[in-house]
Structure 1
């Protein structure tokens, strides 16, 4: 038996020997029932320690590839099938074809944005020293007195204490009408959205989607094999009348009413009532994604759409991943009672339940009154970062873009002057190590706005001012490559 070994390989010799012997057995070089060389003989032939060969044989024996016979040696297991008649795989051969069903997920990862601390990256959060100190204390307290329930399987809806704390917080801060048993704790808003799509939609169902839209939801709808009905957005938010005209019997509508993603406009009260009336009349469901309402810089946070829903058609979705930090992976959905059973069954089939220990820390953070002071401090920091970024953009890039300070959120929309392409500007920024996310790809059917989504939360004001100057310098060097491909892509109004 030929057993090639590479002494210069980083793979340990024992591992190489085991893999080569297994390959020879599977290829039929030694047929079922065939005898392997004695360990001493093979060790001498290969120049190895006998213990190395014995260890390889023992691994093959444990996995059922060989069997030992006292006084006779080691033999290939007779239970293995004969080697296939087909030729072995050829190096460089094309991989097996991808199943057609997998195409539903094609490109989904591209919609998640970019990770890291690069200036202008969106979704970044800041934990100041006071919050970190409290978080450490709460975590250590739970580890010092662990409850056995935290270490085992748990309720798919999440720990009761956290659900009670979330329900109390939502009733007070967002005017959400809910009881703790309606709260389903998830690993973020995206999982909550995915659960609702799997429970409520059949393949081919029509879903209203804001145009422009949150790209990750568009990808999730494609994965659910839903038919997207783009509904234009204007200064009052989603144009409900346009949605009714396009698809009056749609199964669902997805909206971001408090701060439309990506344009930042608020869904007007008239439109909210019109949307709820349509949902009641047609039996449709409304997914309200309230992704960053905690960070409002002018007045109190706007009341939720769910809070004025008299027909029980709105599913409210929120997250702590932005109010605290994305690595927490903790969100929630407020689910109408009649949907609880199928939603919890779907949750059980996906990842069973949220992490009980981390969820307990969040419950303590809420119940002991740490969340509200944390939000106040973060609003102050994010407001300072927002104002610094707006001032820096106006000072350095006024001839390239128009910027308004958003009243809510963790990012702003910079609308490019007519003739500029946001894709080209984004590419130029990337070469300078900056993330300037183009907005035009977020449009589906409506004429695209040429603009950039620039994050300010989680970034120091000085870093944002530096990044604005860098972006201005990069654009000054690349004028000829920044033109928009067509007049329809001009910046300006909604």
Structure 2
């Protein structure tokens, strides 16, 4: 009984009731720090939520919230009927005893991808196709539209001198402060406004990162399967791209180290891997940070669509765990609001800030101050947070509508699960159906689907359809699935006919 009563004091947990930080988050941050520093060892059983709430004189809901966040991010695991335990598979701390580090895996033959002709990289007309179920689409409701009109009109009415000259290539201080406040609160990013650089979106931020990578080494890791435009931008810049396989825990860091231990950077989507949707496990996150710190490598965290999580609170960023300033954090407002906005951001480590800003200046001089003024006002006045809350509900409904329609009409041909986060889902094909053949048949029936098999480089491809649900009104989804069913029927008949011809 004594050990239970001394538990909170032993690990110096305390809450500051006057703080603006919610109690559950104070507890979460302190417990996370104790886990990462090994003051709480792997396998340690945590006290019950009732017990800890009683010890700290806080509501049980605050402790439950902290425990749920730790569980969602992989710091803890639950055992039915037993309690909550510190995850046993977390690696040693980044600054751990070097004698206890595992020997590096033996190098494996690299499957580096080399440059192709630039014109063969991407169909630039594909992204503008508005038909279901194309990716990257967003919706805005009447409330957001009216607010945007009012704020835009107000900005033009008050057209001051700042809009008629050159400005900071990083972006206006008003918008950088708004983004900084948002990232600290919503994504647990460690930053100050001086570190934030406003970009035209994720693609420009990645392009700048590529330009400022050390000339000594242009070897990089990318996820396999992964986001094709990131890979294509790297190849166009002459980088040597090493595809690293993705499994149920995210990118396989051990395979990356074995394939290209001296790579200068890794490009990852840890919160919602594209396209599979898996979350990078906590053990892999810490392993990746340790490798980057040891090798002076950069981790480029693409945190696309992080706002849209449908089960529990958003997961904390990888950057928020980084004690060595090795993570370049990239995000975008183009998916949170609308693609035509063309505003994104990057949080740059201090050591890389000067060359990054210089490259941004040489590339594009500065972002539009008029657009920034509207966005800054939208965020400062609380409209952005309200918009995200409304869109999260809307997109969840559209996700559920798509999942239900697929299960009802295409259950024999496709296997699908509702993702907890993001703006797309993955439907795996059955009965040997080809995702590329379905793509071609879908176009003939007015449906856009992306074959996942094309997103692989070296890993064995899986046949699946990548379907966007965020930008397509709910009432259009079921009819589009009917057309997709017709496309699959046509593809199946064609396959049968080809087999019959082959037997003759």
Question: TM-score, normalised on structure 2?
Answer: 0.74
- TM-superposed CA distance for 1:479, in Å, is 1.1
Matching of residue 219 in structure 1 with residue 249 in structure 2: no
Contact (CA 8 Å) 1:194, 1:220: kept in 2 or not?
Answer: yes
Of 456, 459, 462 in structure 1, the residue corresponding to residue 472 of structure 2 is 459
Specify the SS of the correspondent of 2:183: helix
- TM-superposed CA distance for 1:154, in Å, is 1.4
Of 111, 121, 126 in structure 1, the residue corresponding to residue 134 of structure 2 is 121
Matching of residue 282 in structure 1 with residue 264 in structure 2: no
Matching of residue 166 in structure 1 with residue 149 in structure 2: no
- TM-superposed CA distance for 1:474, in Å, is 2.3
Look up the match of 2:72: none
Matching of residue 313 in structure 1 with residue 306 in structure 2: no
Larger Rg, first or second structure (1 or 2): 1
Deviates more, 1:110-119 or 1:277-286: 110-119
Q: Distance in 1 between matches of 2:408 and 2:494?
A: 23
- TM-superposed CA distance for 1:477, in Å, is 2.7
Of 382, 388, 413 in structure 2, the residue corresponding to residue 369 of structure 1 is 382
Matching of residue 430 in structure 1 with residue 443 in structure 2: yes
Contact (CA 8 Å) 2:273, 2:280: kept in 1 or not?
Answer: yes
Of 426, 430, 437 in structure 2, the residue corresponding to residue 413 of structure 1 is 426
Q: Distance in 1 between matches of 2:175 and 2:488?
A: 48
- TM-superposed CA distance for 1:481, in Å, is 3.4
Of 343, 364, 369 in structure 2, the residue corresponding to residue 351 of structure 1 is 364
Matching of residue 385 in structure 1 with residue 398 in structure 2: yes
Report the CA distance shift for 1:413/1:362 in structure 2 as closer, same or farther (over 3 A).
same
Specify the SS of the correspondent of 1:478: helix
Specify the SS of the correspondent of 2:123: helix
Q: Distance in 1 between matches of 2:401 and 2:407?
A: 10
Report the CA distance shift for 1:350/1:426 in structure 2 as closer, same or farther (over 3 A).
same
Contact (CA 8 Å) 1:401, 1:416: kept in 2 or not?
Answer: yes
Written as runs of structure 1 = structure 2, the 5 A alignment for 1:86-101 is: none
Deviation string 1:124-173 (CA, Å, 9 cap, x unpaired) is 11110100111111111111111111122211100010001101100000
Look up the match of 2:409: 396
- TM-superposed CA distance for 1:109, in Å, is 3.1
Look up the match of 2:152: 139
Of 114, 118, 131 in structure 2, the residue corresponding to residue 105 of structure 1 is 118
- TM-superposed CA distance for 1:340, in Å, is 1.2
Look up the match of 2:18: none
Report the CA distance shift for 1:138/1:468 in structure 2 as closer, same or farther (over 3 A).
same
- TM-superposed CA distance for 1:230, in Å, is 0.8
Report the CA distance shift for 1:129/1:277 in structure 2 as closer, same or farther (over 3 A).
same
Of 259, 264, 270 in structure 1, the residue corresponding to residue 283 of structure 2 is 270
- TM-superposed CA distance for 1:104, in Å, is 5.3
Q: Distance in 1 between matches of 2:339 and 2:372?
A: 14
Q: Distance in 1 between matches of 2:251 and 2:124?
A: 21
Of 479, 482, 486 in structure 2, the residue corresponding to residue 469 of structure 1 is 482
- TM-superposed CA distance for 1:185, in Å, is 0.2
Of 446, 451, 455 in structure 2, the residue corresponding to residue 442 of structure 1 is 455
Q: Distance in 2 between matches of 1:418 and 1:208?
A: 33
Q: Which stretches of structure 1, 4 residues or longer, exceed 2 Å deviation after superposition?
A: 102-114, 201-204, 480-483
Contact (CA 8 Å) 1:203, 1:224: kept in 2 or not?
Answer: no
Count of aligned residue pairs for this structure pair:
384
Q: Distance in 2 between matches of 1:476 and 1:421?
A: 12
Structure 1, gaps ≥5 residues long:
1-101, 486-494
Of 284, 291, 308 in structure 2, the residue corresponding to residue 295 of structure 1 is 308
Of 161, 167, 192 in structure 2, the residue corresponding to residue 154 of structure 1 is 167
Deviation string 1:178-220 (CA, Å, 9 cap, x unpaired) is 0000000000011001000111143862101000010000100
Matching of residue 179 in structure 1 with residue 213 in structure 2: no
Structure 2, gaps ≥5 residues long:
1-114, 499-504
Q: Distance in 1 between matches of 2:124 and 2:222?
A: 16
Look up the match of 1:58: none
Contact (CA 8 Å) 1:202, 1:226: kept in 2 or not?
Answer: no
Question: TM-score, normalised on structure 1?
Answer: 0.76
Q: Distance in 1 between matches of 2:260 and 2:128?
A: 36
Specify the SS of the correspondent of 1:317: strand
Report the CA distance shift for 1:481/1:228 in structure 2 as closer, same or farther (over 3 A).
farther
Matching of residue 240 in structure 1 with residue 249 in structure 2: no
- TM-superposed CA distance for 1:345, in Å, is 0.9
Deviation string 1:102-128 (CA, Å, 9 cap, x unpaired) is 965232333784323201011111110
Specify the SS of the correspondent of 2:127: coil
Q: Distance in 2 between matches of 1:161 and 1:230?
A: 39
Report the CA distance shift for 1:112/1:336 in structure 2 as closer, same or farther (over 3 A).
farther
Q: Distance in 2 between matches of 1:150 and 1:137?
A: 18
Deviation string 1:258-294 (CA, Å, 9 cap, x unpaired) is 0000000000000000000000001100000000010
Q: Distance in 2 between matches of 1:303 and 1:105?
A: 36
